[in-house]
Each structure stands twice: as structure tokens, then as C-alpha cells.
Structure 1
Amino acid sequence: MSAETDLIKLYSGRILALAADMPRTTRLETPDATAKKRAPLCGSTVTVDVNLRDGVISDYGQDVKACALGQAAAAVVGANVVGLTVAQVQEGRDALFAMLKEDGPVPTAPFEALEVLQPAKDYKNRHASIMLAFDATLDALHHQHASV
């Protein structure tokens, strides 16, 4: 199978559907914290705004400029992050990282839809883009946590 055919398979209909229907794409007017992350290899960026109340994410907004893989990951994060604690977001990020880098299992609920990104394991140059939404979210949460 050619590399081009493999790449076409990687961008499955499920990934493209997630990317096309990304939730929470409006930035927050008064976020508690904001963070921007960039994948150096491809230039993808994700900027997130978070509000945190009593240790739980109460609102979330994101601006995603990434490939379909990064957009799909951001769609899953954006759809599930409100109502979670910092620890739960960290668990999701660690599970996605392990799935991509260490052939780990698919992340558990609420991030089980990241399973669609399993084929990206073989495309290490795409991993940074896929991780951006989690990494920016955690940066914002840690910044907000530190300023409380």
C-alpha cells in the first residue's frame, strides 16, 4: 500500500465529520485563563479559554487552526471538557498520549471518541497537532490554578 493511500485512510470520514462539527469554537469574553499552543513541525495552533468554578471547568472556548486530525481531537475535547476537573483532563491527555506513543488503549469516557485517531499512531509527525487541544487546555488550567 502506498504512503498516499495510507494517508487517505488516515483521514477517515469519522475524523472529517468531527473536524467539521467542532463545538465551542467561540472564544470566551471573560476567561479565567487562556493558553495557546503551537505544533512546531506543522504550524498548527490551538488557543483555549477556560473558566473554572470550584475546581471544575464551567465554560470553554477554542480557536483551532490545525489539520483535520488536530481538529478532530479538539472537537472531542471541546465536546467533553465542561464539567471536568483538571485531573480528569490530565487523565484524558495522558491516555491519548499513551494510545499514540505507546500503543496504549483507547481513552475511556468521556474521551472514548478519540479512538478514531488510533490510525495516527503510525504518523509521528501528526502527534503534536493531535495533542494541542489537551496541552493548551491544561496550560490554561494550570495558569488559572496558580493564580487562585
Structure 2
Amino acid sequence: MSGENDLIKLYSARILALAADIPHLERLDNPDATVKKRSPLCGSTVTVDVNMRDGRVSAFGQDVKACALGQASASVVGDAVIGATRAQIKTARDQLAAMLKKDGPVPDAPFDGLEVLMPAREYKNRHASILLCLDAIAEAIGLAEQANCA
């Protein structure tokens, strides 16, 4: 990619709109699990709270301190996470990583809105920030499931 046009494409109006309207920014009072993830490369952080019921996310809260791309990712994920299973989150995370790093396809619905981040493929230093929210949710679901089995 080259120059100013590429940055304009990367920080599209859609990405900026998603970053400005992140759902579930209120933290949960009594979460089943909480996980905070940080990208060492850029310093972005995401903290997520999850409640689980019958193997699905029943409540979700997040605190997002990330670049516009990480915020846009958290926005799309936050809009789709309620009702998701651990397997769906892991699949979405793996598909997003493949989309960014291996020119893979867009993640399956309901996470197909992550397609907006396709222009970030060329910006490897932003990939960790984009993946933070799904990484944190996957870990939180695992912790919640462990706690319920104990």
C-alpha cells in the first residue's frame, strides 16, 4: 500500500463510526469471568466481562482502550457476542486472524461485520489490537466454564 490514500482507506468512515459507537461499554456487576488483554506492540488494552448460561454468552461488558481499528473490532464483536458459544468465538477469532494474516475469507455470521477491517491486512502492527477483544472473550468463556465445573 502506498501513501495517504491507503491510510484514508484504512481509517474509513465506517471504521471510525464503529469505533465511536462500541456496544456494551458498561462493565458487569457480577461477571462469571473477567479477562484483560494487552497488545505489547501498541499498548492497546481490552477488558471483558462475561456471564454464561447454557453454554452461551448471556451478558457482556467491555472496557476498550485501543486504536480505532481495535475499537472497530470490539464494536462489531460486541454487537454479535450475546448468544455466542465458546466454539463460535474461537472460530471467529481464528477466521479473523486468517483474514488478516493469510488473506483468508471474512469470518462467519454473526461476526461477518469484521470484513470492514480487511484494509488492515497490510498493517501487521495493528493485527494484535484487532484480535484483542475476541482473544479476551475466548479466555473469559474458558474461565467461566472452568468455574462452573469446579
Common fold by TM > 0.5: yes
Q: Are residues 41 and 112 of structure 1, via their aligned partners in 2, closer, same or farther at CA, if it must alter by over 3 Å?
A: same
Give 1:45's aligned residue. Answer: 45
For 2:90 and 2:79, how far apart are their aligned partners in 1? 16
Deviation at 1:3, TM superposition (A): 3.2
Matched, 1:18 2:10: no
The answer to whether residue 106 in structure 2 is matched with residue 106 in structure 1 is yes
> Structure 1 residues 137-146 or 10-19, which shifts more?
137-146
What is the CA-CA distance between 1:2 and the residue it aligns to? 4.1
State the 1:54 CA deviation: 1.1
- Report whether the alignment pairs 1:90 with 2:90: yes
Q: How does 1:1-148 map to 2 (within 5 A)?
A: 2-148=2-148
Query: Runs of 5+ in structure 1 lacking a partner?
Result: none
Q: Secondary structure of 2:108's match? A: coil
Identity percentage of aligned residues? 66
- Give me the whole-angstrom Cα distance separating, in 2, the residues matched to 1:126 and 1:7: 13
Runs of 4+ in 1 over 4 A off after TM superposition: none
Mapped partners of 2:107, 2:119: distance in 1:
14
In structure 2, stretches of 5+ residues that fail to align are none
* Matched position secondary structure for 2:58: strand
Return the letter of the residue paired with 1:75: S
How much does 1:101 deviate? 0.7
Q: CA RMSD in A?
A: 1.0
Q: Distance in 2 between matches of 1:34 and 1:58?
A: 14
Is 3-12 or 138-147 further displaced after alignment? 3-12
Write the distance in 1 (CA, Å) between the matches of 2:85 and 2:122: 31
Give the Cα–Cα distance (whole angstroms) in 1 for the partners of residues 7 and 144 of structure 2: 38
Q: Secondary structure at the match of 1:117?
A: helix
Give the superposition deviation at 1:79: 0.4
CA deviation profile, 1:102-146 (whole Å, cap 9, x unmatched):
100011210111000000000000000000000011111111112
User: Deviations 1:52-83 (Å, cap 9, x if unpaired)?
Assistant: 01111100000000000000000011000001
**TM-score (structure 2 length as normaliser):** 0.95
Q: Specify the code of the residue in structure 2 equivalent to 1:108.
A: D
